[in-house]
Structure 1
């Protein structure tokens, strides 16, 4: 099998934007090889594995990457709770489908609404009898999420958020019937929320620190998000 190692921080990025996270891409990897590697790594948060079309990305994340992922997870919980939407988080759980020969661990994944009720508690993932998550979040600090998006589409995940901190960009994506995604201007699972809302909150958290930002978060949901007429499903 062939392998290439790539550091994906752009050479023209500002020095303070550089990220030490790296990824290795292995090509022509069979399903059984991928599963063996995945099970050997187990439940560790690092590295992340993304497997699709016999290509395996092994992603080592950094504090910067994980810091933003945690803020995004907290934001989802606050908005869902404040708007009366049931939620269950699945963190960086591994999602695999042998029939599609794909697998991925998201930066954050969530079940919302009826699926949250179905997946409540500490339930292991089994896509043969359970739904895929309703929302997957991808933070693109040291690598592109393009490969992960292919996997989420084949797994049937209806919504993906992508955050690129180098470009100050948050985008929401809705799955189409053919398994590809199209950009949308409002979340499907959290209907009152826009990409601009999320970007604004991430910038605020970065400016004032996680603790102070989190202390203000529920007030923001109560005063800004919940009063919107389109927050209800």
Structure 2
């Protein structure tokens, strides 16, 4: 790169677009940026976006992620949470770093693997994007064949399910069928802001247990 990336400052909530970025340049940029950083990237056929999230974005991400983990634990479902791992496919010239992602049905397939290659490994079963006002890339997730994409924006959760190569909005989750998660996740996220994280997760776990008993 002619301009060293460390000289580029991206203010929280803002983004930088770089055009005509080759795959080799993308690999170099990712190496230079490193893994332990706040910024997220999205790459779509030569266009690279680097975005820095706002602090409240991180709060929402952490609580929603904790709720999903608690749900999986209460349902006794093995999972692997990979955070904002870079998922990319050179053949499609696309890559993305979700705010959070989970391997659920395919957890066993990638169990123990330190590096994933979507040309041979399955994509995550569930990806999460928070506050997507400036950063919305469902086309990349579609191309990478992520079965389920949650998008949380303006205090609303939207569940998108992949069907015939395109996302359709759904009222329930593919991974958690029969649960009214659109309303419940939002409700407990809001509750966490007044009741605190631990009290909220305890209440949420109780709700999951009650829901399981009612289904049985």
Unaligned segments of structure 1, at least 5 residues: 8-19
Cα drift, residue 141 of structure 1: 5.6
User: What is residue 33 of structure 2 aligned with on the other side?
Assistant: 41
Change in Cα spacing, 1:161 to 1:51, as seen in structure 2 (3 Å) is same
Once the two structures are superposed, the pairs formed by residues 136-215 of structure 1 within 5 Å of their partners are: 136-140=127-131, 143-145=134-136, 147=137, 149-164=138-153, 167-178=154-165, 180-193=166-179, 194-215=181-202
* 8 Å CA contact retained: 1:136, 1:161: yes
Task: Note the C-alpha offset of 1:122.
Answer: 5.8
The TM-score with structure 1 as length reference comes to 0.81
Q: What does residue range 85-164 of structure 1 map to in structure 2 within 5 Å?
A: 85-113=77-105, 115-121=106-112, 123-140=114-131, 143-145=134-136, 147=137, 149-164=138-153
Q: CA RMSD in A?
A: 2.3
Work out whether residues 101 and 126 of structure 2, in 8 Å CA contact, stay in contact via their aligned partners in 1.
yes
Structure 2 unaligned regions, length at least 5? 2-8
- Distance change in 2, residues 1:211/1:122 (3 Å): farther
After TM superposition, give the deviation of residue 162 of structure 1 in Å. 0.3
Q: Could you tell me how far apart the structure 2 residues matched to 1:98 and 1:22 are?
A: 27
Q: Partners in 2 of 1:22 and 1:60 — Cα distance? A: 6
Instruction: Output one character per residue of 1:28-66: Cα deviation in whole Å (capped at 9) or x when no partner.
Output: 322222221112112123211101132211011132111
Provide the rounded CA distance (Å) in 2 between the counterparts of 1:128 and 1:53: 16
What CA deviation, in whole Å up to 9, does each residue of 1:111-169 have, x standing for no partner?
Answer: 113x1122224632222331110000000166232x2x1111111100000001xx221
**What's the secondary structure of 1:219's corresponding residue?**
helix
* 1:66 to 2:71 alignment: no
